[in-house]
Amino acid sequence: MTASLRFRAAIVSIALFVAFLGIWHIATRGAAPVASMNPEYAKLMGLTATQGKSAMPGPLDVGAKLWEHLKRPFYDNGPNDKGLGIQLGYSIARVGLGYFLAVIVAIPLGFLIGMSPLINRALDPFIQILKPISPLAWMPLALYTIKDSGLSAIFVIFICSVWPMLLNTAFGVAAVRKEWINVARTLEVGTLRRAFTVILPAAAPTILTGMRISIGIAWLVIVAAEMLVGGTGIGYFVWNEWNNLSITNVIIAILLIGIVGMLLDQILARFTRMVTFPE
Amino acid sequence: MSTFDDPFDADRALSRSGCVCGQHRSAGEHDQAALALRCEPVPTETEQQRYEGVVASAVMRAMFPRDAARRAFLKSVGASTALAAISQFFPIKTATEVFAEAGAPEKKDLKVGFIPITCATPIIMASPLGFYAKQGLNVEVVKTAGWAVVRDKTINKEYDAAHMLAPMPIAISLGLGAQAIPFAVPAIENINGQGITLAMKHKDKRDPKDWKGMKFAIPFDYSMHNYLLRYYLAEHGLDPDTDVQLRSVPPPEMVANLRADNIDGFLAPDNICQRAIYDGVGFMHILSKEIWDGHPCCSFAASREFITGSPNSFAALTRAILDATAYASKAENRKQIAEAIAPANYINAPVTVLEQVLTGTYADGLGGVKTDAKRVDFDPFPWQSFAVWMLTQMKRWGQIKGDVDYKAVAEQVYLATDTRKTMTEMGLAPPASSYKSFAVMGKTFDPAKPEDYLNSFKIRKAS
């Protein structure tokens, strides 16, 4: 029964995709060629102006271009033109570093907040104010103080991924069932041991949910940050191709950003499943 | 009006305008007419030859400082005999070698930031065409997302030098829109080369008086584009602060915004104008050249700290830029340049678009093909009078409040004296003065009286 459900769902998915491609193709076919244009003049103009070609590329254009990119993902034509594989690599490395730093800061701090009501109350106003700030709003300040655009981008990733992890860790730690802690206390387990053997496993699913939210946000932000900072990364690629008004390449980049984002999310989803326990 | 001439040429014009025989408007036209009569191929001078000539030129100029005397001497013996005669008692070969060896750069690996527009042509092309390598530098030219980012990255020392809008180094040095950090301009990148592009729907609204309520985009607040557009509108009786909306939009977004009908037009750098035409979104209303022929647009800028910290690197960089600018100023090289800077690593634009901008034969967007060889031109000399003019406009539109010492700022930021020295050493012919008068929309600007000029405008921001 489940197999047939999955099968039917796949058919619906494919049908939707084909319909989407079909509509896309028809919508971007373009108008008839513009008649009566001086050939001398036409030679100086683009296809949009001369042949009424739609400014939006069709699925065939995108497919052909995508194939071109996939054939050589790692070329390097100098500092401003690198293959998509290299660009994605830069972005993932940046996200990874900023995210890793956020994990190092957020989880211990979250533990502290969750275990101590005093710290919780004391830090609460700061967290409440800092949390809703758009990560990109930090960019000018980061550029000004850190004085290095690469580090600024990493800082922005750090600052945006730290909050969900911090709050989820604090919440997870505070919500550990009192009975378990009381049992640990009865058995005279030390604070440190209690934190690692009782609280950590109990709060792990909540913590990992926070980490999963964070990686999604970090991946959202990196594209915008790289568009601002430039140089390398998939965000820079989008900006560079926009500069050339090459919508085809922008669509390809959007597609890849989506796929990589999904993969990152799936990896953390798998970790979450590993630490989940039945009560 | 070229800055690049040859002291061995007996026919060189003594004045810096018009041609030798007086029948043509410019030296270029004269040359072309002369060649057409003689049916000779256009002489192509290799870079090598020019370098060999550098020292000989310097000696020649030193021996005959007066143009008229040199001309008489050359006329009587001929250029090659003169050169041979000088070589007899002056070791030109040795001197050339010494000249080439002087001042090894302190730092060889440099980063130079640029914005992908044709104004940056000399900075960009110097990389694929090897002008940096010739000075013993390993320069990485890095494309940057916008003017504010270029400014911040140069201030952060991520870039050693950068492509900036001509007023930006002045604004940075004065601390407008950023912390005050002394910057300097050794060379202007390009002159002319901008345009006012309007959306196709305004095809019949060619009189600026009808533009009330329209929205225009400019690349940056501290840009010649801003000042030229404001000037143009004000001359036609519109107050740019109240009658129209001016928006600061990064150049790449301009065409998309024009297509989406978010703006009615823009005064933007090329290739953006031509790109809007190429895509059938807009048409060329006027070239910026029609507002002020020979206006500067972008500059090559570096911080004072870099200049004092690595003077030889800076000098080598300046020489590479001056050299590239000289190469770009020649019309016959423009097609090659367009191809060199079009790939994704540099400007990332269709070659046809860049060719139209650089060669000056372009589609106007209304069905006509126009030709203007000076649509964009390259002349590196950082006239201090340019800086004074920009300061008057900054004050006119309220960017500078209070008094300003025009001359002191201009002389501190625009390094006319140093560039003149470097150009002379390279065998180029810089102008003798650092100030010149020019006309903007028919109104003459006298760099000696900036305050009077400023007060002569009726439309200005009330201070």
Q: Is residue A108 domain-resident?
A: yes
Same domain, A52 and A136: no
Q: Do A41 and B348 lie within an 8 Å CB cutoff?
A: no
Please give the Cα distance from B151 to B165 (Å, whole number).
Answer: 10
Of A55, A229, A230, the CB nearest to B279: A55
pLDDT value, residue B29: 61
Same domain, A147 and A220: yes
Same domain, A253 and A158: yes
Measured in angstroms, the CA of B298 and the nearest CA of chain A are apart by: 19
Residues 6+ apart with CB under 8 A from B427: B50, B51, B53, B54, B55, B57, B58
Same domain, A116 and A157: yes
| Nearest residue of A to residue B111, measured between CA atoms | A79
Same domain, A35 and A89: no
Q: Is residue A73 domain-resident?
A: no
pLDDT value, residue A76: 79
Report the SS3 class of residue B26. Answer: coil
Same domain, A20 and A135: no
Q: Is residue A31 domain-resident?
A: yes
Confidence category of residue A148, pLDDT binned at 50, 70, 90: confident
Q: Could you give the number of structural domains in chain A?
A: 2
How far CA A201 is from CA of A99, A159, A172, A195, A208, in Å, comes to: 22, 26, 10, 9, 11
Same domain, A130 and A178: yes
Among residues B126, B128, B148, B125, which one has the least CA distance to residue B219? B148
pLDDT value, residue B414: 93
Q: Do B280 and A148 lie within an 8 Å CB cutoff?
A: no
Of A46, A80, A228, the CB nearest to B346: A80
Cα B353 → chain centroid: 20
Residues of chain B with a CB closer than 8 angstroms to some CB in chain A: 116, 140-145, 149, 152-153, 156-158, 252-253, 255-256, 259, 275, 277-280, 343-346, 348-350, 352, 356, 361-363, 367-369
Among residues A16, A22, A19, which one has the least CA distance to residue A59? A22
Please give the Cα distance from B5 to B1 (Å, whole number).
Answer: 10
Structure tokens, A187:
């058995």
Same domain, A15 and A144: no
Q: What is the pTM of this model?
A: 0.76
Measured in angstroms, the CA of A229 and the nearest CA of chain B are apart by: 7
Cβ contacts from A onto B, under 8 A: 101
Enter the DSSP assignment of B367: S
Measured in angstroms, the CA of A250 and the nearest CA of chain B are apart by: 13
Q: Do A229 and B145 lie within an 8 Å CB cutoff?
A: yes
Q: Is residue A171 domain-resident?
A: yes
Provide the domain limits for residue A39.
5-56
Q: Is residue A144 domain-resident?
A: yes
Higher pLDDT, A130 or B31: A130
Q: Do A77 and B345 lie within an 8 Å CB cutoff?
A: yes
pLDDT value, residue A185: 87
CATH of the domain at A114: 1.10.3720.10
Q: Is residue A89 domain-resident?
A: yes
Q: Is residue A19 domain-resident?
A: yes
Structure tokens, B410:
């201009």
**pLDDT cut 70: percent of chain A above it:** 94
pLDDT tens figures, A37-79: 777 777 778 777 677 667 778 888 888 888 888 888 888 777 7
pLDDT below 70 — which residues of chain B? 1-67, 69-70, 73-74, 77, 79, 82-102, 463
Q: Do B252 and A148 lie within an 8 Å CB cutoff?
A: no
Same domain, A28 and A94: no
Q: What's the mean pLDDT when you consider all of chain B?
A: 83
Of B279, B349, B368, the CB nearest to A49: B279
pLDDT tens figures, A12-36: 999 999 999 999 888 887 666 665 6
Q: Which residues pair with B249 in a beta bridge?
A: none
Same domain, A37 and A106: no
Please give the Cα distance from B243 to B209 (Å, whole number).
Answer: 10
Please give the Cα distance from B306 to B169 (Å, whole number).
Answer: 14
Question: In degrees to the nearest 10, what's the CA dihedral of B394, B400, B402, B404?
Answer: -70
Q: Is residue A76 domain-resident?
A: no
pLDDT value, residue B110: 92
pLDDT value, residue B37: 46
Chain B residues touching A40 at Cβ < 8 A: 369
Of B143, B156, B363, the CB nearest to A45: B363
Cα A98 → chain centroid: 12
Same domain, A222 and A88: yes
pLDDT value, residue B58: 64
Q: Do A48 and B144 lie within an 8 Å CB cutoff?
A: no
pLDDT value, residue A116: 87
Same domain, A134 and A91: yes
